[in-house]
């Protein structure tokens, strides 16, 4: 049996989709989890205890793996003291390849935590691939979900800016392609965005059509949005990150036209309407 692929972020949006694809293709994997075991339908999956904040878990977990699917958890800000030492141990332990989920523009932006990881991967001079996705369609099912379900609205300081949402399932497909064909994808940095630019009033229309109930986009001021997230109980750092990211949409930061995803996938990229159709249960609406 071939050596397994080490999968981080396994309970998250991209990691779950990676696990599903590896299972479908009967590829052995080792699922890294803070709270094992994690259910998998694959008999070729094994779960190990792993935590980026506990360096003592790195070497025992990664030993014997051939490659790593690397995801930076949103709560991990200091990647220099977590992901980067893990990368060193992974390569020292015999991993031949790392596929890292970064974010659009991280190569040019030293203020995002992914930047230091990208720099480190390049400096290691080993086999790696960097995926730089834009806004996930899955944000509708997590970050925006409470507002949609409880208030029947999307409330963001994004103005009329457009977003080219990408489905995390498409990111996972590119990750698995990169893991299966390391030579073809070695040293590449792929900007990955979805096929259509949508403003949030259009997103609200798509939700309204498929949920058969009116969902409205209410543009927020920066102050109003900050206060809203504070009331929802989010930690200040997360409020700051979400506010900056969504404010940037006003200035075209998420309106990125790029054909890389179209060229890499064997099928047309998923549209936001596909994501909504496949996840209707997430927005079972409460009555007004
Ligand atoms: N959302 C977007 O629009 C967007 C766009 C571009 C890039 N990104 C990037 O994509 C990444 C998020 O991907 P995602 O949405 O798939 O993640 P996610 O759904 O938020 O899941 C995070 C994963 O990390 C794990 N995790 C959390 N803390 C950990 C720790 N200390 N040690 C090990 N694992 C830990 C979680 O496991 P538990 O079950 O143990 O919590 C979970 O499996 C971030 O780096 C983000 O910046 C996001």
Which domains can be identified in the chain, with CATH numbers? Answer: 5-133 (3.40.50.720), 137-163+195-256+270-283 (3.90.25.10)
Mean pLDDT rounded to a whole number for the chain:
96
Res 284: pLDDT: 84
Q: Between the CA of residue 10 and those of 14, 29, 34, 39, 175, what are the distances in Å? A: 8, 11, 10, 10, 13
- Whole-number Å distance between alpha carbons of 189 and 184: 12
Give the 3-state secondary structure of residue 222. helix
% of the chain residues with pLDDT over 70: 99
Name which of 127, 123, 143 is nearest 135 in CA terms. 143
280: enclosing H helix or E strand:
none
Read off the pLDDT of each residue in 101-122 and give the average, rounded to a whole number. Answer: 97
The answer, yes or no, to whether any atom of ligand 1 lies below 6 A from the CB of 200, is no
pLDDT at 23 over 70: yes
What's the CA-to-centroid distance between 52 and ligand 1, angstroms? Answer: 12
Q: Give mean pLDDT, residues 11-28.
A: 96
pLDDT(286) > 90: no
> Is a pLDDT exceeding 90 seen at residue 198?
yes
- Taking the C-alpha atoms of residue 37 and residue 46, their distance in angstroms, rounded to an integer, is 8
Ligand 1 close to Cβ of residue 12 (< 6 A): yes
Please compute Rg for the chain using Cα positions.
Answer: 19
Instruction: Indicate if ligand 1 lies below 6 Å from the C-beta of 144.
Output: no
Residue 43, pLDDT score: 83
CB distance 51 to ligand 1 below 6 Å: yes
**Crossing angle, helix 222-231 and helix 236-249, to 10 degrees?**
150
User: What pLDDT is attached to residue 26?
Assistant: 95
Query: What confidence tier does 42 reach under pLDDT thresholds 50, 70, 90?
Result: confident
Whether residue 69 contacts residue 5, with contact meaning beta carbons closer than 8 Å, is answered with: yes
C-alpha–C-alpha distance, residues 54 and 65, integer Å: 19
Mean pLDDT of 130-142: 98
| pLDDT average, residue stretch 150-157 | 97
- Rounded mean pLDDT, 208-212: 96
* pLDDT at residue 287, as a whole number: 64
Per-residue burial over 140-157, b = 16 or more CB atoms within 10 Å of its CB, e = otherwise: bbebbeebbeeebbbbbb
Query: In percent, how much of the chain has pLDDT > 90?
Result: 94
Q: Is the CB of 6 under 6 A from ligand 1?
A: no
> How much is the pLDDT for 240?
94
Pick from 116, 114, 158: nearest CA to 132: 114
Task: Give yes or no for a contact between 95 and 66, defined as CB atoms under 8 angstroms apart.
Answer: yes
As a whole number, mean pLDDT of residues 51-59 equals 98
Does residue 283's CB lie within 6 angstroms of at least one atom of ligand 1? no
Q: Whose CA is nearest to atom 8 of ligand 1?
A: 103
Packing angle of the helix pair 83-92, 113-124 (nearest 10 deg): 20
Which pair of tokens denotes residue 282? 């997430």
Q: Where are the beta strands (DSSP E) in 34-82?
A: 45-49, 67-71
Ligand 1 and 101: CB distance under 6 A = yes
pLDDT above 80 (res 37): no
How many CB atoms within 10 Å of residue 187? 12
**pLDDT given for residue 288 in this prediction:** 65
Residue pLDDT, tens place only, 167-196? 999 999 999 999 999 999 999 999 999 999
pLDDT at 60 over 70: yes
Q: Measure the CA angle with vertex 36, ends 32 and 40; round to 5°.
A: 75
pTM score over 0.85: yes
If one residue of 6, 8, 9 were mutated to test the ligand 1 pocket, choosing by the most ligand atoms within 8 A of its CB, it would be: 9
Tens-place pLDDT, residues 74-96: 999 999 999 999 999 999 999 99
Q: Please give the pLDDT value at position 1.
A: 72
């Amino acid at each position: 049996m071939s050596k397994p692929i080490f999968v981080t972020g396994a309970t998250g949006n991209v990691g779950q989709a990676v696990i599903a694809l590896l299972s479908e293709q009967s590829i052995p994997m080792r699922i890294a989890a803070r709270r094992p075991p994690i259910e998998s339908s694959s008999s070729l999956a094994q779960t190990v205890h792993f935590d980026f904040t506990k360096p003592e878990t790195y070497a025992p977990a990664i030993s014997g793996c051939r490659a790593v699917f690397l995801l930076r958890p949103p709560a991990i800000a200091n990647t220099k003291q977590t992901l980067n030492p893990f990368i060193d141990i992974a390569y020292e332990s015999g991993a031949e390849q790392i596929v890292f989920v970064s974010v659009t523009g991280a190569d040019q932006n030293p203020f995002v935590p992914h930047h230091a990881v990208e720099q480190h991967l390049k400096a290691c001079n080993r086999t790696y691939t960097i995926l730089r996705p834009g806004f996930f369609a899955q944000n509708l099912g997590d970050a925006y979900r409470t507002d949609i379900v409880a208030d029947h609205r999307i409330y963001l300081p994004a103005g009329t800016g457009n977003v080219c949402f990408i489905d995390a399932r498409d990111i996972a497909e590119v990750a698995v392609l990169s893991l299966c064909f390391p030579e073809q994808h070695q040293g590449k940095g792929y900007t990955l965005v979805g096929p259509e630019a949508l403003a949030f009033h259009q997103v609200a229309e798509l939700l309204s059509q498929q949920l058969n109930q009116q969902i409205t986009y209410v543009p927020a001021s920066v102050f109003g949005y900050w206060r809203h997230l504070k009331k929802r109980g989010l930690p200040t750092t997360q409020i700051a990150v979400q506010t900056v990211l969504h404010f940037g949409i006003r200035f075209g930061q998420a309106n990125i036209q790029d054909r890389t995803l179209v060229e890499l996938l064997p099928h047309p990229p998923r549209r936001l309407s596909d994501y909504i159709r496949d996840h209707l249960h997430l927005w079972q609406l409460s009555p007004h």
